[in-house]
Amino acid sequence: INKYLAITFFALLILGGTFFALVEGTILYKGNSNPSKSADYVIVLGAQVKGTALSKALKSRLDTAVTYLNDNADSKVVVSGGQGRGEDIPEALAMKNYLISIGIKDSRIIMEDKSTNTEENIRFSQSIIADKDQYTVIVTNKFHIFRATMIARKQGMTNVKGLGAPSDDILVIHYHVREFFAVVKDKLIGNI
């Protein structure tokens, strides 16, 4: 019995390790993709706001979006994020204020300020865009691109790409391990 338990344990360990490696490999690969130019819409997913100040992760997402927006003058941007604990204003408003402060015209910015997670970010932003066939680029941190684009495709967006922003190097392993479990959870509940 002990022999069979040991064999079963090691087989499950190898299978689990292989599954983890495959998911992480996909997360890394998708996080480094570069979308083509001329998106109709750019959706920037929200992240924590401290009072009214952008977190490092959110500023990184916005700076990445600004580079794309500056190269694609006809693209509109949807800033997506509601108001959570410790936030004096919705994430979308903080994002809009930042974009305007660095030269993005107000007329290009659309706010979605009700969402509280990635699935809602995509769903609520998509309802603003209305046409699921519009070429849309989703901007978030690199580790988050795979899951965000898979959620968008599951919701019927047919022409979506990801644009990954850099993350804090000190926390990159933490982010990737946490994202593995988020991918598994979203798969199990049917979001992807």
pLDDT at 89 exceeding the cut of 70: yes
What pLDDT score was predicted for residue 63?
A: 98
Digit-coded pLDDT (tens) for 146-167: 999 999 999 999 999 999 999 9
In a 13 Å sphere around the CA of 188, the CA atoms on its Cβ side amount to 6
When mean pLDDT is compared across 53-62, 96-105, 124-133, 159-168, the lowest value belongs to 124-133
Can you list the alpha helix ranges (DSSP code H) found in the chain?
2-31, 56-71, 91-101, 118-129, 145-154, 172-188
pLDDT tens-digit readout, 26-46: 999 999 999 999 999 999 999
Check: pTM over 0.85? Answer yes or no: yes
Give yes or no for residue 178 having a pLDDT over 70. Answer: yes
- Whether the Cβ atoms of residue 140 and residue 119 lie closer than 8 Å to each other: no
